[in-house]
Structure 1
């Protein structure tokens, strides 16, 4: 792991997750705001080298899930485990110290600053003795260029304001920055939501690159087509609960799209919709066709010692 001052800090051997051990795991996790239950009974496991896609419509609970894992909010029910150890983050810094980095839609960048300054924003490299330490600009430029190239991002001029880059390029810089600063789990908050087809493809390419480098990725999206391109596991939230949890081999793109689009509700209303002119109910799936596998909670049943 590379720390903010540029030094290497390896993850202890006993804390490093194996291929079958999740880095981050939620067991029956939930969050209530007073009498409002925003999330309830959610199970989620994030493994190294895999992309876990969390899908859901507006109000499904995706943002609450992000806030719990990233340390912005605390869960009020269930458990959150990191490397098998129960945790309760009180700040995002605590989550970041455990290798959990979040890239939000606003990317936390300063548009008028150069690319290399944004890469090290808040964690600048310095040189010289105290109290006359100064920014180590050549080293920051060199490091930023190397890390971006390692992710397959080649920029002709790191001095250009990051605001002049395309939306997809800015997303990729944010991803490379999180990887460099030691992220083991990368949470991406709808990175393709405001992008066109080509730029979305660029971002998906770098999500796959992060996975290939051994990171566990949580890809938050409402686009099942984007999710299916890079996803290894799919979790669909609806009204704060987990409606679907399935491996890629267990579900097709069509089934995932039906769940995401509320196919179960449409199937239940098939008879009523048949009375409406202009609605082709023959294309709607039957309710029993939408029964996809849902993983059982790994928590022991109540009453178990």
Structure 2
């Protein structure tokens, strides 16, 4: 695994009145890894991810993408540089078909006057692109013209993942992608996450599901009280040890750390 860091944050701080959501927080995502972010409710994970995706502007600290410092003022800013996010709420449009969901907000228009003047959509090109994207990720569906509302929970999640993987050029972030899924569908989504990484995109996985984390993560960022308190390799750390540090029952120094505490 390469040591190249794609997305890095240093000293991120964010206050909401007297509440400290981020407290001098650091973050590092390597170029070819699945990095899991774990932490108790209220630890500041959501604020960290929102800062990295432009949904929240930190009070202080820096964020760098591929070695260049970036300043996100909105989620659109992050999307412009290739950071795409699958939120826990999915954000798919059930009444639209798979192709319409993959190209939602990014519809392709026909070339020439049909596209520029009459604003006709290039539906064949979008269907072809959708089919190719689903095939690249190994997602099996009956037809790309299926309405998303006819799909299972795992298939809907797959459509959401396929959409971000189609447009991301730098980083894919997934917030609780297996929430409310059964065992079979969970394994399908975890396999999909691994294929996204294999296709060249680093993945940030936010999850409360420790077995899922230890199944797919290359490294684990442990978040507590608004900051990264440990960065560990799951091959050298047990699930029980990671949870103990996450909850404060053990000190970070008791673990085999990757890069030390923050």
Q: TM-score, normalised by structure 2?
A: 0.91
Matched, 1:144 2:130: yes
- Unaligned segments of structure 1, at least 5 residues: 1-17, 266-286, 299-305
- Distance in 2 (CA, whole Å) between partners of 1:85 and 1:211 is 22
The aligned counterpart of 1:228 is: 214
The aligned counterpart of 2:85 is: 102
SS of the residue aligned with 1:245?
strand
Range with greater deviation from structure 2 (40-49 or 211-220) = 40-49
Range with greater deviation from structure 2 (249-258 or 170-179) = 249-258
- Distance in 2 (CA, whole Å) between partners of 1:296 and 1:246 is 8
Deviation at 1:293, TM superposition (A): 4.1
Question: Which deviations, in whole Å up to 9, do the C-alpha atoms of 1:104-154 show, x marking residues without a partner?
Answer: 112221111111111111111110412113011111111101110110012
Aligned equivalent of 2:255, options 292, 297, 301: 292
Structure 1 residue ranges (4+ consecutive) displaced by more than 4 angstroms after TM superposition:
287-290
8 Å Cα contact 1:189-1:220 kept in structure 2: yes
The aligned counterpart of 1:189 is: 175
8 Å Cα contact 2:229-2:252 kept in structure 1: no
SS of the residue aligned with 2:163?
helix
8 Å Cα contact 1:151-1:176 kept in structure 2: yes
- Unaligned segments of structure 2, at least 5 residues: none
Query: Highest Rg: 1 or 2?
Result: 1
8 Å Cα contact 2:176-2:206 kept in structure 1: yes
Deviation at 1:95, TM superposition (A): 0.8
Aligned equivalent of 1:117, options 85, 96, 100: 100
- Distance in 1 (CA, whole Å) between partners of 2:19 and 2:219 is 29
- Distance in 1 (CA, whole Å) between partners of 2:251 and 2:74 is 43
Aligned equivalent of 1:37, options 20, 32, 38: 20
Root-mean-square deviation over aligned CA pairs: 2.0
How does 1:1-305 map onto structure 2 within 5 Å?
19-127=2-110, 128-129=112-113, 130-260=116-246, 262=247, 264-265=248-249, 287=250, 291-294=254-257, 295-296=259-260
8 Å Cα contact 1:168-1:202 kept in structure 2: yes
Range with greater deviation from structure 2 (164-173 or 52-61) = 164-173
SS of the residue aligned with 1:192?
coil
Q: Label 1:166 to 1:183 Cα distance change in 2 as closer, same or farther (>3 A).
A: farther
Deviation at 1:36, TM superposition (A): 1.6
SS of the residue aligned with 2:165?
helix
Q: Label 1:289 to 1:66 Cα distance change in 2 as closer, same or farther (>3 A).
A: closer
- Distance in 2 (CA, whole Å) between partners of 1:154 and 1:197 is 17
Deviation at 1:247, TM superposition (A): 2.1
Deviation at 1:80, TM superposition (A): 1.1
- Distance in 2 (CA, whole Å) between partners of 1:172 and 1:89 is 27
Deviation at 1:185, TM superposition (A): 0.4
8 Å Cα contact 1:71-1:92 kept in structure 2: yes
